[in-house]
Structure 1
Amino acid sequence: MVFDSGVTIDMLSGSDEGKKVENYIEDNLDEVIINELNVEEIKYVVCKKSNEKRAEEVENMLKTSGYFTIFPFSSIRGEVYKIKCKYPISLADASSVATAKISGLPVLFRREKEIEPFKVELNVTFVNEIH
Protein backbone atom coordinates (compact mmCIF):
# COMPACT_ATOMS: atom_id res chain seq x y z
CA MET A 1 0.00 0.00 0.00
CA VAL A 2 1.15 3.53 -0.72
CA PHE A 3 1.09 5.99 2.18
CA ASP A 4 0.60 9.71 1.87
CA SER A 5 2.87 11.99 3.89
CA GLY A 6 0.24 12.73 6.53
CA VAL A 7 -0.18 9.06 7.39
CA THR A 8 3.58 8.63 7.73
CA ILE A 9 3.82 11.76 9.90
CA ASP A 10 1.07 10.36 12.16
CA MET A 11 3.10 7.17 12.55
CA LEU A 12 6.29 9.08 13.34
CA SER A 13 4.51 11.24 15.91
CA GLY A 14 3.07 8.24 17.74
CA SER A 15 -0.47 9.63 17.56
CA ASP A 16 -3.49 7.39 18.09
CA GLU A 17 -4.08 7.40 14.32
CA GLY A 18 -0.41 6.52 13.80
CA LYS A 19 -0.65 3.58 16.20
CA LYS A 20 -3.76 2.37 14.38
CA VAL A 21 -1.82 2.49 11.11
CA GLU A 22 1.13 0.59 12.64
CA ASN A 23 -1.23 -2.16 13.80
CA TYR A 24 -2.81 -2.26 10.34
CA ILE A 25 0.64 -2.68 8.76
CA GLU A 26 1.57 -5.52 11.10
CA ASP A 27 -1.70 -7.34 10.44
CA ASN A 28 -2.23 -6.65 6.73
CA LEU A 29 0.70 -5.31 4.74
CA ASP A 30 3.95 -6.71 3.38
CA GLU A 31 5.19 -3.41 2.02
CA VAL A 32 4.66 0.30 2.68
CA ILE A 33 5.58 2.64 -0.16
CA ILE A 34 6.21 6.37 0.03
CA ASN A 35 7.78 8.50 -2.66
CA GLU A 36 10.67 10.94 -2.66
CA LEU A 37 8.42 14.02 -2.79
CA ASN A 38 6.56 12.73 0.26
CA VAL A 39 9.89 12.32 2.06
CA GLU A 40 10.61 16.00 1.34
CA GLU A 41 7.18 16.97 2.67
CA ILE A 42 7.77 14.91 5.83
CA LYS A 43 11.14 16.61 6.31
CA TYR A 44 9.53 20.02 5.88
CA VAL A 45 6.94 19.25 8.57
CA VAL A 46 9.56 17.86 10.96
CA CYS A 47 11.83 20.85 10.32
CA LYS A 48 9.04 23.32 11.09
CA LYS A 49 8.22 21.53 14.34
CA SER A 50 11.81 20.82 15.34
CA ASN A 51 14.84 21.71 13.19
CA GLU A 52 16.82 20.78 10.08
CA LYS A 53 19.00 18.28 11.91
CA ARG A 54 15.96 16.37 13.16
CA ALA A 55 14.44 16.45 9.65
CA GLU A 56 17.60 14.88 8.22
CA GLU A 57 17.59 12.24 10.97
CA VAL A 58 14.00 11.36 10.09
CA GLU A 59 14.93 11.10 6.41
CA ASN A 60 17.80 8.76 7.25
CA MET A 61 15.51 6.66 9.45
CA LEU A 62 12.91 6.41 6.66
CA LYS A 63 15.56 5.29 4.19
CA THR A 64 17.34 2.79 6.44
CA SER A 65 14.53 1.37 8.58
CA GLY A 66 13.56 -1.34 6.10
CA TYR A 67 9.99 -0.38 6.96
CA PHE A 68 9.40 1.83 3.94
CA THR A 69 10.11 1.41 0.25
CA ILE A 70 10.92 4.84 -1.16
CA PHE A 71 9.67 5.16 -4.71
CA PRO A 72 11.83 7.42 -6.92
CA PHE A 73 10.13 10.57 -8.15
CA SER A 74 11.53 9.95 -11.63
CA SER A 75 9.21 6.93 -11.85
CA ILE A 76 6.06 9.02 -11.34
CA ARG A 77 6.79 12.48 -12.71
CA GLY A 78 5.03 11.81 -16.02
CA GLU A 79 1.88 10.92 -14.09
CA VAL A 80 1.92 13.51 -11.29
CA TYR A 81 1.18 16.50 -13.49
CA LYS A 82 -1.77 14.70 -15.15
CA ILE A 83 -3.34 13.98 -11.77
CA LYS A 84 -2.63 17.50 -10.51
CA CYS A 85 -4.13 18.93 -13.71
CA LYS A 86 -7.31 16.87 -13.42
CA TYR A 87 -7.93 17.09 -9.66
CA PRO A 88 -7.75 20.12 -7.33
CA ILE A 89 -5.35 18.47 -4.88
CA SER A 90 -1.87 19.35 -3.66
CA LEU A 91 1.22 18.37 -5.60
CA ALA A 92 2.31 16.04 -2.78
CA ASP A 93 -1.12 14.38 -2.73
CA ALA A 94 -0.97 14.01 -6.51
CA SER A 95 2.43 12.34 -6.14
CA SER A 96 0.98 9.84 -3.63
CA VAL A 97 -1.88 9.04 -5.99
CA ALA A 98 0.53 8.73 -8.93
CA THR A 99 2.75 6.34 -6.95
CA ALA A 100 -0.28 4.19 -6.18
CA LYS A 101 -1.45 4.26 -9.78
CA ILE A 102 1.98 3.31 -11.17
CA SER A 103 2.32 0.57 -8.52
CA GLY A 104 -1.19 -0.77 -9.01
CA LEU A 105 -1.87 -0.33 -5.28
CA PRO A 106 -4.35 1.60 -3.13
CA VAL A 107 -3.19 4.72 -1.32
CA LEU A 108 -3.81 5.53 2.35
CA PHE A 109 -4.61 9.12 3.37
CA ARG A 110 -5.79 10.88 6.45
CA ARG A 111 -9.30 12.12 5.70
CA GLU A 112 -8.88 15.21 3.53
CA LYS A 113 -11.77 17.23 2.17
CA GLU A 114 -9.88 17.87 -1.08
CA ILE A 115 -9.58 14.13 -1.71
CA GLU A 116 -13.08 13.13 -0.56
CA PRO A 117 -14.95 13.84 -3.85
CA PHE A 118 -12.45 11.72 -5.81
CA LYS A 119 -11.86 8.97 -3.25
CA VAL A 120 -13.24 6.06 -5.27
CA GLU A 121 -11.88 7.29 -8.59
CA LEU A 122 -8.38 7.67 -7.11
CA ASN A 123 -8.47 4.34 -5.21
CA VAL A 124 -8.00 6.11 -1.88
CA THR A 125 -8.56 4.57 1.54
CA PHE A 126 -8.82 6.84 4.57
CA VAL A 127 -7.22 5.88 7.89
CA ASN A 128 -10.60 5.90 9.65
CA GLU A 129 -11.71 3.13 7.25
CA ILE A 130 -9.00 0.64 8.16
CA HIS A 131 -9.42 -1.89 10.94
Structure 2
Amino acid sequence: MSDAVRVLVVEDEALVASFVEDALSDGGFQACSVHSGEEAMSTFCDGREGCRVLLTDINLGDGISGWELARQIREITPSFPVVYMTSASAPDWESQGVGSSVLIQKPFAPAQLAAAVSQLLGGATSPG
Protein backbone atom coordinates (compact mmCIF):
# COMPACT_ATOMS: atom_id res chain seq x y z
CA MET A 1 0.00 0.00 0.00
CA SER A 2 1.57 3.26 -1.08
CA ASP A 3 0.51 6.70 0.04
CA ALA A 4 2.48 8.33 -2.78
CA VAL A 5 0.74 11.18 -4.59
CA ARG A 6 -0.84 9.88 -7.80
CA VAL A 7 -0.08 11.76 -11.00
CA LEU A 8 -2.30 11.49 -14.07
CA VAL A 9 0.19 11.12 -16.93
CA VAL A 10 -1.09 11.78 -20.45
CA GLU A 11 1.43 10.80 -23.12
CA ASP A 12 0.69 9.13 -26.45
CA GLU A 13 4.23 7.80 -27.00
CA ALA A 14 4.83 4.59 -25.05
CA LEU A 15 8.59 5.11 -24.64
CA VAL A 16 8.13 8.62 -23.27
CA ALA A 17 5.31 7.45 -20.99
CA SER A 18 7.56 4.72 -19.62
CA PHE A 19 10.39 7.22 -19.00
CA VAL A 20 7.96 9.57 -17.22
CA GLU A 21 6.56 6.77 -15.05
CA ASP A 22 10.07 5.80 -13.94
CA ALA A 23 11.02 9.43 -13.27
CA LEU A 24 7.92 9.97 -11.12
CA SER A 25 8.47 6.73 -9.28
CA ASP A 26 12.07 7.72 -8.52
CA GLY A 27 10.73 11.05 -7.25
CA GLY A 28 8.33 9.34 -4.85
CA PHE A 29 5.18 9.71 -6.94
CA GLN A 30 2.86 7.15 -8.46
CA ALA A 31 1.99 7.44 -12.16
CA CYS A 32 -1.42 6.65 -13.57
CA SER A 33 -0.80 6.65 -17.34
CA VAL A 34 -3.29 7.11 -20.14
CA HIS A 35 -2.64 7.72 -23.81
CA SER A 36 -5.19 10.32 -24.90
CA GLY A 37 -6.91 13.43 -23.63
CA GLU A 38 -10.28 11.70 -23.79
CA GLU A 39 -8.99 8.81 -21.70
CA ALA A 40 -7.54 11.29 -19.21
CA MET A 41 -10.87 13.15 -18.87
CA SER A 42 -12.67 9.89 -18.29
CA THR A 43 -10.13 8.80 -15.64
CA PHE A 44 -10.27 12.23 -13.99
CA CYS A 45 -14.08 12.41 -13.91
CA ASP A 46 -14.28 8.82 -12.72
CA GLY A 47 -12.12 9.80 -9.76
CA ARG A 48 -11.28 6.22 -8.80
CA GLU A 49 -7.58 6.74 -9.36
CA GLY A 50 -7.49 9.70 -6.96
CA CYS A 51 -4.96 11.58 -9.07
CA ARG A 52 -3.84 14.91 -7.62
CA VAL A 53 -1.74 16.31 -10.46
CA LEU A 54 -2.08 16.41 -14.27
CA LEU A 55 1.12 15.85 -16.24
CA THR A 56 0.32 16.09 -19.93
CA ASP A 57 1.99 16.18 -23.29
CA ILE A 58 0.62 18.94 -25.55
CA ASN A 59 0.26 17.09 -28.85
CA LEU A 60 -1.78 13.97 -28.22
CA GLY A 61 -2.55 12.75 -31.72
CA ASP A 62 -6.03 13.16 -33.16
CA GLY A 63 -8.01 13.90 -30.00
CA ILE A 64 -8.06 16.91 -27.72
CA SER A 65 -4.73 18.58 -26.99
CA GLY A 66 -3.01 18.89 -23.63
CA TRP A 67 -3.99 22.56 -23.62
CA GLU A 68 -7.67 21.68 -24.02
CA LEU A 69 -7.48 18.83 -21.51
CA ALA A 70 -6.06 21.11 -18.82
CA ARG A 71 -8.78 23.72 -19.47
CA GLN A 72 -11.52 21.07 -19.15
CA ILE A 73 -10.07 19.74 -15.89
CA ARG A 74 -9.74 23.27 -14.51
CA GLU A 75 -13.42 23.91 -15.27
CA ILE A 76 -14.21 21.04 -12.88
CA THR A 77 -11.46 21.66 -10.31
CA PRO A 78 -10.16 25.24 -10.67
CA SER A 79 -6.97 24.78 -8.66
CA PHE A 80 -5.92 21.38 -10.05
CA PRO A 81 -2.11 21.32 -10.53
CA VAL A 82 -1.02 21.12 -14.19
CA VAL A 83 2.40 20.32 -15.63
CA TYR A 84 2.81 20.44 -19.42
CA MET A 85 5.54 18.50 -21.27
CA THR A 86 6.42 19.54 -24.79
CA SER A 87 9.20 19.67 -27.32
CA ALA A 88 7.67 22.12 -29.79
CA SER A 89 4.75 23.94 -28.17
CA ALA A 90 6.54 25.91 -25.44
CA PRO A 91 6.05 29.30 -27.19
CA ASP A 92 2.26 28.81 -26.99
CA TRP A 93 2.25 28.29 -23.21
CA GLU A 94 1.51 31.93 -22.39
CA SER A 95 -1.56 32.08 -24.63
CA GLN A 96 -2.77 28.47 -24.34
CA GLY A 97 -1.74 27.26 -20.89
CA VAL A 98 -3.87 27.51 -17.76
CA GLY A 99 -2.81 29.84 -14.94
CA SER A 100 -0.37 28.65 -12.27
CA SER A 101 0.81 25.78 -14.45
CA VAL A 102 4.36 24.62 -15.11
CA LEU A 103 5.89 23.74 -18.47
CA ILE A 104 8.93 21.55 -18.92
CA GLN A 105 10.66 21.23 -22.24
CA LYS A 106 11.51 17.83 -23.72
CA PRO A 107 14.00 16.32 -23.47
CA PHE A 108 14.21 16.72 -19.70
CA ALA A 109 16.05 14.98 -16.90
CA PRO A 110 13.98 12.73 -14.60
CA ALA A 111 14.79 14.98 -11.64
CA GLN A 112 13.29 17.99 -13.46
CA LEU A 113 9.99 16.18 -13.75
CA ALA A 114 9.75 15.27 -10.07
CA ALA A 115 10.84 18.81 -9.14
CA ALA A 116 8.09 20.38 -11.28
CA VAL A 117 5.41 18.20 -9.66
CA SER A 118 6.80 18.85 -6.17
CA GLN A 119 6.86 22.59 -6.83
CA LEU A 120 3.14 22.63 -7.66
CA LEU A 121 2.20 20.44 -4.71
CA GLY A 122 4.38 22.43 -2.35
CA GLY A 123 1.93 25.29 -2.54
CA ALA A 124 4.30 27.43 -4.57
CA THR A 125 2.19 30.44 -5.32
CA SER A 126 2.22 32.26 -8.61
CA PRO A 127 -0.16 34.82 -10.05
CA GLY A 128 -2.79 33.52 -12.41
TM over 0.5: no
Higher helix share: 1
User: Which structure carries more strand by proportion?
Assistant: 2
TM-score by length of 1: 0.38
More relative contact order, 1 or 2 (CA 8 Å, 6+ apart): 1
